[in-house]
Structure 1
Amino acid sequence: MSRQVSNHNSESVLTIQELAQRIAKVMGVKSGYSPIQASRTHLLEYVPKSQADLPPRSMRDSYLVALIPLSSDLHLQDKYTTFLGYVRVGRLLEDMDIFAVMVAQKHIHNPRLPEGIPSPQTLVTALVDRIDFSDFVPKPKEDIKISGHVSWVGKSTMEVVVWLEQNMYGTWHRITRALFLIAARDPTNTKAAVVNAIVPADDREREILAGGETRKLYRIELEKQHVSKVIPDDEEQRIVHDLYVRTKSNKDVSLMNVVLPSGAVWMEECTISNTIFSQPENRNLHNTVFGGFIMRQAAELSWVLGFKFSKYRPKVKSISDIKFSKPIAVNSLIHMHAFVVFTQMQFIQITVYVETFDPQTGTSDTTNIVHFTYEVPEIVKEVIPRTYQEAMMYVDGRRHFLEIMKAGPHAGPKMLNDDGIVHKSKL
C-alpha cells in the first residue's frame, strides 16, 4: 500500500518491502528457496555489447524514494527497536544495501529488451565507500524515508548515494548518508556487464558526476597505498617506533621484555569473535548471502566490542570502506573477528574481518572487511600493538579514523530531492 510523505511536495510512495517485491519481479526471481538456482544463461543474448547500445540516463532517471513504515507496522517496530528504545543501525544497513540495488536497477534501461524478459544484468554490492551518521537519533515508532540516485557510472559499475531521513514534528531530519558501489555482472555472474552511461541533466548533476570521478580516483590511490602493499610513510613508522619505545623500561636493555604503558591496553585483549551459520532467509536475489546481512552482523558485533571496551554504549559516527571481495554461499559458516585497532580521545576505531570457514579442510577465506568509528562520552584507553601485524592494523585503523575526521573528496555528493533540487543541508 502506498503512503503519503509529508514534505514541501507530498507524493505517494511505496514501502521498501513493496519495492523489493518489484525488483524481484524485474530480475525474474521467484519466491521460495531452492538450493539449486534457476539458470539464467538464456538471458545472455540480451546483454548489451557496449554502452553505445544503451541510451544515456540522467540522475533524475534513477531517483527513488520509499518508506520504512515503522509508525504503522508493529512487527517492523519489534525488528528495528533496540533494548534501549532506539532504532537498530544494523537493520538500516540492510535496508540501504537492498535499496542501493533497487536504485541501480532503475538506472538500467534497455529499450531492446522484450517485454516480460527479466533484466539480464546481475547486480552485486562491490563496495560501501562510506556511511556517515548525523547527531539525530531516529525513533522506532516514526516512519523513515529512504531515497537515493545513481551519482556516477563507469562501464559496469554505478555509484549510488542513499539517504535516510525521519520526520519529527513536521521536519525531516537527516539520519545518515551512504555511498554504495554496485557492480553489474552478466546473467551467470561470471563477467562484467555494461550499464547505461550518465549524461547530466543540468549543472548540479555535472557537479555531482565530477565528484564521482574524483572519488573513483581517490579510491584507486588509497588502495595502492594500503599497508599490505606499501611500507608505511615516515610519520607512521615513527609512530609505531614510539609506541614500541613506550613499552620499554628505562632500566631494561632487553628487547624481549615489554611493559604496558599507563592508561593503555594491549590490542590483543581488545577483540571478540563469533560464528554464524547463514540460512536461506539471509540470501539475496542471486542465492548468495545478502550483503546487508553481513553488514548488520558486523555492525552489531563491533558495537558489542565498543561497549565492552569503553564501558559506555558507543554511538556510531561512520562506517567506511566496506569491501565485498567474494560472494558467500548460503549455508556457509561465517567467522567474524572484531578488533579495536586505534583510539583517540573519546573515539574508537574498530575493524571487523569476515571469513568463510571450511570445516572439512580447516581453511578460512576473508570475504569482507568493515571499518567502524564510534564515539563515547569519556576519553578511552589507548590501544597498543604488540606484534608487527597488530602495528599494521593500528596504522590502517589510524588512516581510516583520520579520513573520517576530515572533509575530502571521499565525503560524497549532495543529493537530488523529489523536485530534482539538491538538498542543501549537510551532515
Structure 2
Amino acid sequence: MAELLIKCQDIGSVSNPRRHFLLNPSPATSTLAHPHEMSFNTGNALRRVSQASRCNNCWHRVSVALAGSRASRAIHSSPSQSTDGVFRELTSMRVRTPWVEALRQQQAEQSHPAEPSGKPEVPKERDLRPRRMDDSYYSVVLPLAQDPWLLDTYLNSSGHIRLGTIFMDLDALSGIIAYKHTGDDVTTVTASCDRITIHSPLTEICDLELSGRVTYATGRSSLEITMQVAKAPKQGEKVRDEDVLINCTFTMVSLDPSTKKPVNVNPLIVETPEEKRLYALGERNSRVRKERRDTSLLKHTPNDLESDLIHALWQIQKHNAVLMRKTRLQTATIMQPQYRNRHHFMIFGGFLLKQTFELAFTAAAAFAHARPTFVSLDPSTFENPVPVGSILYLTATVVYTDPPLIGAPGEKVDEQTDYTRVQIRVDSKVRDVEHGLSKPTGQFNYTFTVPKKIRVMPNTYQEFMMYIDARRRAEQVKRTLEEGFGVGPKTAEKNLTE
C-alpha cells in the first residue's frame, strides 16, 4: 500500500476526476479529517467520491493500492486554514498570477515595475458609453456563522471580529466593483477612503454580506464606490436598515497601466430617486474633498478663531493632559508579496487599512489605558504606492480629543460626559531596503471612543497644526452623528467588532 498527497483544485464536478487531482509523491505526515472521501488504484480509476463541501487547493492524504491489489482506503483531509487576511472569493480577483511567475517575467523584461514607460497600453477606441449603477453591483457573503475556520481568521483574542480584516475585504471588493465598471484595460487604484462608519452594532456572530456599486462617475478618471457590510439576509429577503453594520465610500482612480497617467472612465446613467440621492452624495463628497485641499493648513495659515484657540492652549497649563509627543507609536514592516495587488508589484490598499487601523487602536488603548471602541475612519488619502519588498514605516499619534482641553469662543463643550472621542492620525512612509529616499504613502485618520475623561495637549507648532487639522475633522464627525449615521458610545460598546 503506497501513500500519496492529492491536491484538490476547486472540485466542481466528478464527471472527469482525473482533471481535478494532482498527485504529489511526498508522503503524508499526519491523518487529517475532511468530508471528502476518495479511493484510487494505480490505474487512476475513481471508485468512490463523496463531496460534502467545496475546498480550494487543499492536500488530501490517500492510500493507493498497488497493481493487482483490491485494497483501498478512504481519504480524510481538512480544508486549507491559511489565509492572507482577505476572503478567498475576493482574493481570487485580486491576485491572478503566482508571484514567482510575475517576478520572472519582470526580470526577463528588465523593467522596473514602479517606473512608467512612455508607451500607452490603453486602447484609443475604448468603449466609454455610460453605464448604470447596477452594472457594477457585486456582493459576497462571508459565512462566519457556518465556517469556524474562516471565523478563526476574523476573530481577535476577545472573540470580537477584527475590523481591520473587514477593511481589507472592503478594499478588495472596491477593486472588483471598479473593474466591473471600467473593464480590465486600465489600472484602477485606491485614491482615498472618504469615510467608514458604524451604522448599527453587531450583537451576534453571523454571516455577513459585503456589497457595493459605483455611485458617482462623471467620465473623468475618478469614480466613487459606495459599499456596506450587513447581516446576510435569508434567501429571497432584502437587507434591513437595522441589519447594516458598516457604511463606507472609496474613491478610485483609473490609470494607464504603462504610463501611470489618468484615463477617462465610463460616466454613470442615473435613473431612480435612490440613484439620484447617491449621485448627489458623491457630488457633495467630491466638493468637500476639493474644499479640504484648498483650505489645507499646508497652503493657508489657521483662521482667526483657530489662531485664538492656539494662543489660549499655549497659555494654559493642564496637569491632567497628556503631551501629544508621548502618545506616538511607530512600526516598521517589510512588504511581502502575499499582500500585493492584481498588478503584482504593489501592496494593495486594504493591507494598509488593516495595518493602520490596528496601530491606531493600539495607540488609543495605550493613551487611555482603556479599550477603545471604533467610531469612524475619517477622510484618508493614499498618496504614493507601496512596492513589494520595501519597508513601510507607520507612526500613530493622538492628535485630538473631544471634549477638548478648551473650547473655542461660543463652542459648547460637554464636560460631564464619561466618554472621550479620541482621534488618531497614522502617517505612513516607505523606503527601500537600502534606506534611500523615503516617500509619504498616505495619512489615515481614525476616531475611537474611550470610557474615560482624558485630554491631549499639543506643544510644538507642528503639533498645534496637527491638532487644528484634527479639530476640523472632528467637526465633520459631529455632523455625521447628528445626521443619524453612527451609534452612541454606550451602544457601540455592545458591538462585537473591534
User: TM-score, length-normalised on structure 2?
Assistant: 0.69
1:285 to 342, 364, 380: 342
Counterpart pick for 2:89 among 18, 23, 35:
18
Contact 1:20 1:102 in 2 (8 A): no
For 1:85-142, what per-residue CA distance to the aligned partner results, in whole angstroms no more than 9, with x for missing partners? 1100100110000101111111225xxxxxxxxx211111011111111340364x42
Equivalence for 2:216:
152
Could you tell me how far apart the structure 2 residues matched to 1:211 and 1:104 are? 18
| 2:366 is aligned with 1:308 | yes
Question: 1:321, CA displacement in angstroms?
Answer: 1.7
Which one of the candidate residues 245, 255, 271 is aligned to 2:315?
Answer: 245
Whether the 8 Å CA contact 1:93–1:292 is kept in 2: the answer is yes
Aligned to 1:4: none
CA drift at 1:203 = 2.9
**Residues 228 and 138 of structure 1: is their aligned pair in 2 closer, same or farther, counting only changes over 3 Å?**
farther
Matched residue, 2:197: 132
Residue equivalent to 1:215? 285
Q: Give distance in 1, aligned partners of 2:349 and 2:304.
A: 37
2-structure distance, mates of 1:158, 1:400: 23
SS at match of 1:216: helix
Residues 1:263 and 2:320 aligned together: yes
CA pair 37-217 structure 1, distance change in 2 beyond 3 A: farther
Deviation of 1:72 after TM superposition, in Å, equals 2.8
What's the CA shift for 1:402?
A: 1.2
Tell me the alpha carbon deviations over residues 176-209 of structure 1, each in whole angstroms, 9 at most, x when there is no partner.
Answer: 1111001111122511122111111223212321
TM-score by length of 1: 0.80
Quote the residue 1:356 is aligned against: 430
Paired residues in the alignment total: 369
Q: 1:87 touches 1:138 (CA, 8 Å); kept in 2?
A: no
What SS class does the counterpart of residue 301 from structure 2 fall into? coil
- Aligned-pair CA distance for 1:70: 1.5
CA distance in 1, matches of 2:185, 2:460: 48
**Deviation string for 1:258-292 (max 9, x for gaps)?**
xxx12211111111111111111011111201111
1:294 aligns with 2:352: yes
Other structure's SS at 1:351 match? strand
Could you tell me which residue of structure 2 aligns to residue 30 of structure 1? 97
- 2:455 pairs, out of 371, 382, 385, with 382
Counterpart among 182, 185, 204 of residue 252 in structure 2? 182
Work out whether residues 129 and 180 of structure 1, in 8 Å CA contact, stay in contact via their aligned partners in 2: yes
Whether the 8 Å contact between 2:90 and 2:169 is mirrored in structure 1 is no
Give a deviation string over 1:347-386, Cα, whole Å, max 9, x none. Answer: 101100011134535543211100000001222x211111
CA distance in structure 2 between the partners assigned to 1:364 and 1:46 by the alignment: 30
Counterpart Cα distance in 1 of 2:132 and 2:449:
38
Counterpart check, 1:165 vs 2:241: no
Evaluate the alpha carbon distance shift between residue 88 and residue 168 of structure 1 in structure 2; reply closer, same or farther with a 3 A threshold: farther
Query: Which structure is larger by alpha-carbon Rg, 1 or 2?
Result: 2
Where does 1:54-133 land on structure 2 (aligned, <5 Å)? 54-108=128-182, 119-133=184-198
Deviation at 1:408, TM superposition (A): 9.9
Match of 1:404 in 2: 477
Aligned to 2:78: none
2:339–2:348 Cα contact (<8 Å) kept: yes
Deviation for aligned residue 1:300: 0.3
What secondary structure, in the 3-state scheme, does the structure 1 residue paired with 2:103 have?
coil
Would you identify which runs of 4 or more consecutive aligned residues in structure 1 move more than 6 Å?
168-171, 408-412
Q: Deviation digits for residues 184-236 of structure 1, max 9, x if unmatched?
A: 11122511122111111223212321221222111101111111111111111
In 2: Cα distance, 1:316 partner to 1:37 partner? 43
Alpha-carbon separation, structure 2, partners of 1:105 and 1:68: 21
Query: Conserved in 2, the CA contact under 8 Å of 1:122 and 1:189?
Result: no
Q: Secondary structure at the match of 1:299?
A: helix
- Unmatched runs of 5 consecutive residues or more in structure 2: 1-9, 11-85, 404-419, 486-498
- Give me the whole-angstrom Cα distance separating, in 2, the residues matched to 1:189 and 1:37: 19
Could you say what secondary structure the match of 2:290 adopts? Answer: helix
Matching of residue 230 in structure 1 with residue 304 in structure 2: no
The residue that corresponds to 1:317 in the other structure is: 375
Structure-1 separation of matches of 2:212 and 2:173:
8
Query: CA contact under 8 A between 1:218 and 1:409: conserved in structure 2?
Result: no
Cα distance in structure 1, aligned partners of 2:465 and 2:90: 43
Counterparts of 2:430 and 2:104, CA distance in 1: 20
